[in-house]
Structure 1
Amino acid sequence: MMLNIWWVWVVAGFGLGVLEVLLPGYIFLGFAVGAVVTGVLVGFGLSVGVAALLLVFGLVSLAAWFVMRQLFGLREGQVKIWHKDIND
């Protein structure tokens, strides 16, 4: 199956990274990191079933999203307040 080949995960991760650049919002970036890390783990010899690979992908993606949320998210006291409407 294609999910047991390391480069498929890495290519999918880079594809999701490109998608994040085209549609920014820190949505696809966590999935991209998860796919690349899963590909690296498979490349280093992680030999498990498809369900376990998808679980690893999901957990790494979730962890990457939380880390990036802490690094790039709004800090306390940095709430954006709009004083003017662009249509005024």
Structure 2
Amino acid sequence: MIYLWWVWMAAAVLLLVLEVLAPGFIFLGFAIGAAVVGLWLLAGYAIASVWLLLIFAVVSLIAWLVLRQVMGVRKGQIKLWDRDINED
């Protein structure tokens, strides 16, 4: 079943739906990884399942890092406290 391209594409769509429900670019990297593996299999490149999972993991990590760099944390989004309210 891991060699079926439509399973990977269905997983990508499911992960995209999860991303809509829990925004924050958490599942988007995984969805991109699953879509890449699905397209890889659709193109006719059948390889061992271990390599498919490795490609999924590497592409997901790269996609997450790129998304984090591009979308990232906006300036001023994180509140830094410079003094404690209990200090008087």
Segments of 5+ residues of structure 1 without an aligned counterpart are 83-88
**Matches of 2:44 and 2:58 in 1, distance apart?**
19
TM-score (norm 1): 0.83
**CA–CA distance in structure 2, aligned partners of residues 53 and 69 of structure 1:** 24
Q: 1:71 Cα deviation (Å)?
A: 1.0
Give the structure 1 partner of residue 17 of structure 2.
18
Number of residue equivalences: 80
Question: Partner of 1:4: helix, strand, or coil?
Answer: coil
**Aligned residues with identical type, % of pairs:** 49
Report how far residue 25 of structure 1 moved. 2.1
Displaced runs of 4 or more, over 2 A = 79-82
Deviation, 1:79, is 2.9
For residue 27 of structure 1, what is the aligned residue in structure 2? 26
CA distance in 1, matches of 2:34, 2:76: 32
When the two chains are superposed, the root-mean-square deviation of aligned CA atoms in Å is: 1.7
* Deviations, residues 8-53 of structure 1 (Å, cap 9, x unaligned): 1001001000001011121111000000111001110121111110
Superposition TM-score, scaled by structure 2 size = 0.83
Give the match for residue 35 of structure 2. 36
Secondary structure of the structure 2 residue equivalent to 1:3: coil
For residue 2 of structure 2, give the secondary structure of its aligned residue in structure 1: helix
| Residue segments in structure 2 that go unaligned for 5+ positions in a row | 81-88
